[in-house]
Amino acid sequence: MAERQPYGRGGRRPTLEQVAARAGVGRGTVSRVINGSPRVSERTRAAVQAAVAELGYVPNTAARALAADRTDAIALVVPEPERRFFAEPYFSDIVHGVGLVLAETEVQLLLTFAGGDRERRRLGQYLGAQRVDGVLLVSVHADDPLPDLVDQLGVPAVISGRRSEDEALSSVDSDNFGGGRVAVEHLLQRGRSTIAMITGPLDVYGARRRHDGCRAALAAAGHRVDPELVEQGDFTEEGGRRAMAALLARRPDLDAVFAGSDVMAAGARLVLREAGRRIPEDVALVGYDDSVIARHMEPALTSVRQPIVEMGREMTRLLLDEIAKRPEDRSAPGRRSQLVLPTELVVRDSS
Amino acid sequence: MAERQPYGRGGRRPTLEQVAARAGVGRGTVSRVINGSPRVSERTRAAVQAAVAELGYVPNTAARALAADRTDAIALVVPEPERRFFAEPYFSDIVHGVGLVLAETEVQLLLTFAGGDRERRRLGQYLGAQRVDGVLLVSVHADDPLPDLVDQLGVPAVISGRRSEDEALSSVDSDNFGGGRVAVEHLLQRGRSTIAMITGPLDVYGARRRHDGCRAALAAAGHRVDPELVEQGDFTEEGGRRAMAALLARRPDLDAVFAGSDVMAAGARLVLREAGRRIPEDVALVGYDDSVIARHMEPALTSVRQPIVEMGREMTRLLLDEIAKRPEDRSAPGRRSQLVLPTELVVRDSS
DNA sequence: GGATACGATGGGAGCGCTCCCACCGTGATG
DNA sequence: CATCACGGTGGGAGCGCTCCCATCGTATCC
């Protein structure tokens, strides 16, 4: 193999045409080899590959994108400021899952933050500019117009979680209903009978489903669902404290609490401790998310785990499938895939 | 303004040509307006802008990249697996700093992980494919061939930290020498006289500079630099423990320790405590990085802070400058910018 | 041996843009 | 009144690739 050119200082890179000349074939043939078309003889293929290696040829992405109308790149759009993105292990796991699928392809992942208003507006431009073949949307709020914008632009997209019962976009969610149910079933099995619930904001779809699953488990066990034992939080630690205080005031006899997130469980724990309740002896506590704090809490928190890495994988698979279809074959709105992955209870010391 | 087309279902987006037709001008004129050229009359500019708005025109990136040979995108290349990237606040701050500068431009940031070997190899292809105008390299190891590969490809690049005294690439580093010096000066001011040092691996440039600064401070104060008081660690907690144990065995009379990283300081702290030494009463402890653990340590750790956000900003500025030059004007190897930002001592309870 | 089929190949057209040169008209200048 | 300068404009050429159609050769069949 000949020495490869250092292209530095503005030297131009070899083109298809030059590879073709070197290999003594036509442009079309080289293109076929590069793209792995089967309609090339073994001899020719070898000659072309040799020429590619000698010249250190790499296809120009821009030219390919322009001619073929595809970029071989997808974007992960994070509608949050960078800080939050890095702070939450959720994103890390999603990216990891995405990466696992993309590693087997030639598709590149672009991370895009759209935290601020300005960046938000620019995103439309960005997608309109056909920089990417598709979009992965994570951490989308119920009232976020972004998904609909993306959909209207005709850009294939998959959303993590869903915004409501009838999500218009393709989505991958975890089984929030099952998660809530299994948490409460676990508490019942532990012999608890007066089970309180700190929910997330009930206009958030996932939070409502956790709540529904919880009620379902109680009903299935023949328990009455007592409104006095339900208090709404806001996914913050402070919200968890407030909710716990209210529950304790109304029902000092409660012997278990299911919180819709680990962070709220952490808040609840503080209030319980201040009230002199031992965990789990007096009150069993179960959280949701299986986050880092669950493991580090004292006592370690029983929590419901979502398969986040797996969600990242499935989102990516779904998106690549959608992209692979020709535009006219793409699923019509309303007939998109809605995937729901199972959750799992991780039992620790708090229950 | 007319209703904007929803392009969905494979509908094509408007082109420059169509905007030109709509505005009753030529292609060139529209291009000039889009790119903010001053050589357009106010009348014409307004007409074109109206047409752009009516059609919802967005320039096609691929076509622009092909014609102009620039992508308006830069890549942040992280030669680490995703996990580490998210785990370390360092990266979060860098990305934040980069984002601050890019927010004022039309340049897009792409995050690229090159942790695995496979991804590593693909990166060359990626850069060769002219997907980006330049590259930001962070967390590069001394023996990493990546920077030279990038340089050889003629892709403008800026590296965070430097690999050695004579870094070939443009770089932005923090003042490790000054950081080491100020840490030790602080200990001397506190009246400590027997100051031990746990260094990072001395083949890592930054670690060596911290060590050098430390020695310089000692020498300036008229202290002899006692080899018995220097022990090399490896930036891990375990390494910090081992080093501390060795130092304590050799010199039980030491009254201060400067560790080359917070994590090593954390390891040292455990050993000191096991040996019954109180911090800071018996032994003062200073770390490096001002990481989260510094604040959360018991007692809170005095540490040297690097201006990481600022480093991200400066790296980006440097890179954009380099990109703005025509290729033939770009700095020759050896005459690249080497920027060093000041470090700062954050005094807490451990000293 | 000629018609047929099909795999392999070459290269024209065109993707949407920027660059640049030619050209137009106007007002200043000799 | 001819000449020049210059701001403003139109549009050809070309970026490097993919797509596709025409073409060529060879194996296959009657």
C-alpha Rg value of chain A to the nearest Å: 26
Same domain? B183 vs B297: yes
Decide: CB of B40 under 7 A of nucleic strand D.
Answer: yes
pLDDT at residue A132, as a whole number: 93
Size of interface A-B (CB pairs under 8 A): 130
Strands A195-199 and B134-137: unpaired
Number of H helices, E strands in chain A: 14, 12
Nucleotide nearest to B65 (CA to C1'): C17
pLDDT at residue B335, as a whole number: 66
Decide: CB of B56 under 7 A of nucleic strand C.
Answer: no
A335 touches chain B (CB under 8 A): no
Please tell me which residue, B124 or B316, carries the higher pLDDT value: B316
Instruction: Read off the pLDDT of residues B68-109 as tens digits, 9 standing for 90 and up.
Output: 999 999 999 988 777 777 767 788 889 999 999 998 898 988
pLDDT beneath 70: ranges in chain A: 1-11, 331-335
Same domain? B295 vs B334: no
Q: Tokens for B136?
A: 């930001």
Same domain? B180 vs B278: yes
Number of H helices, E strands in chain B: 14, 12
What is the domain range of residue B108?
A: 73-173+309-340
- Domain assignment present for residue B186? The answer is yes
Please tell me which residue, A236 or B143, carries the higher pLDDT value: A236
Within residues 52-71 of protein chain A, the ones with CB less than 7 A from nucleic strand C are 63, 66-67
Please, are residues B165 and B203 in contact by the beta-carbon 8 Å criterion? Answer: no
- Domain assignment present for residue B244? The answer is yes
Cα separations in angstroms, B286 against B49, B185, B232, B234, B298 = 59, 11, 16, 17, 13
**With a CB-CB cutoff of 8 Å, which residues 58-87 of chain A face chain B?**
58-63, 65-66, 71, 82-83, 86-87
Same domain? A205 vs A286: yes
The β-bridge partners of B173 are B340
- Domain assignment present for residue B64? The answer is no
Place of tokens 């009978």: A193
Same domain? B28 vs B93: no
Stated pTM of the model: 0.84
Nucleotide nearest to A14 (CA to C1'): D16
Nucleotide nearest to B57 (CA to C1'): C16
Instruction: Read off the pLDDT of residues B188-205 as tens digits, 9 standing for 90 and up.
Output: 999 999 999 999 999 889
Same domain? A26 vs A127: no
- Domain assignment present for residue A68? The answer is no
A118 with B95: Cβ contact below 8 A: no
pLDDT at residue A1, as a whole number: 39
Same domain? B194 vs B285: yes
B92 with A86: Cβ contact below 8 A: yes
Give distance CA B104 / C1' C26 (Å).
39
What is the rounded CA–CA span in Å between residue A242 and residue A259?
12
Count the domains in chain A: 3
